[in-house]
Amino acid sequence: MRSTVKLGSISGIEIGLHYSWFIIAALIVLSLGGRFRQVNPDWSTGEIWIAALVTAVLFFVTLLLHELAHSLVAQARGLRVRAITLFALGGVSQIQEDSTDAKTEFWVAIAGPIASVIIGFGCLGIALGLGWQRSTEPQTAVTGVLVWLGYINLGLAAFNMIPGFPLDGGRVLRAIIWALTKDADRSTRIAARVGQVVAVLFILDGIWRYFSGAGFGGLWIAFIGWFLMDAARASYNHVATAAPRSV
Ligand SMILES: [Zn+2]
């Protein structure tokens, strides 16, 4: 995954965007615009699109913070991090080396979801402070943006904690199996197998939703499943080829 647009660097880590990011950014702005228009019919067209644009930009800032959490913890534990790239399905931190111990793997993996949970509750907390009441639609553009960001970040943390490698939850699972079995390769194979099972469930769920009338949303879930399947298979094969042969 190579960046096509470089934004700069933080703590020596190059921050960039992959071209697929622009497609998803446009889709997010369009769908948010539609949603804001529906929920807040009294907003002006200008307000709706500015809110949609600001929300999309802030969403990518929160994704970047999730990746930075992974990367900075990795750096703190002595791993080199080359770049963070944001793309259609989120972000990737390009950490140069594999974790050398289960504890490092655990903390690097869980740092991202912890960041997303803090951001999520932080946004909802600020919205509540500004007068938003739970289980009602936000009344102002600012609380609207904060509530959307709050829920999407909590959702992101929950999604990432699904225990299928290479999702963060799969890495946490791998770290736990690694700590228990003291066998890094075996833990990768088990976590990658679980990841493949999770991916198949995503694909089946997406296809089922598609034929139940969910349309694009269903295909999107199936696509994420296909992406996860590919990544899990690559992780499994990487171990298979890199595993030392017994002599
Ligand atoms: Zn993550």
Tell me: the pLDDT tens digits for 115-152? 999 999 999 999 999 988 888 877 777 888 899 899 99
- Give the per-residue SS3 of the chain: CCCCEEEEEECCEEEEECCHHHHHHHHHHHHHHHHHHHHCCCCCHHHHHHHHHHHHHHHHHHHHHHHHHHHHHHHHCCCCEEEEEEECCEEEEEECCCCCCHHHHHHHHHHHHHHHHHHHHHHHHHHHHCCCCCCCCCCCHHHHHHHHHHHHHHHHHHHHCCCCCCCHHHHHHHHHHHHHHCCHHHHHHHHHHHHHHHHHHHHHHHHHHHHHHHCHHHHHHHHHHHHHHHHHHHHHHHHHHHCCCCC
pLDDT tens sequence across 67-97 = 999 999 999 999 999 889 888 777 888 888 7
Active-site entry in 14, 47, 67, 105: 67
CA of 230 to the centre of ligand 1 (A): 17
CA of 87 to the centre of ligand 1 (A): 13
pLDDT at residue 5 greater than cutoff 70: yes
Please indicate whether residue 67 is annotated as part of the active site.
yes
Q: Which residues are found with C-beta within 5 Å of the ion, ligand 1?
A: 112, 160, 168
CA 70 to ligand 1 centroid distance, Å: 7
Task: Tell me the pTM.
Answer: 0.84
pLDDT in tens, 200-236: 998 999 999 888 887 777 888 888 888 888 888 877 7
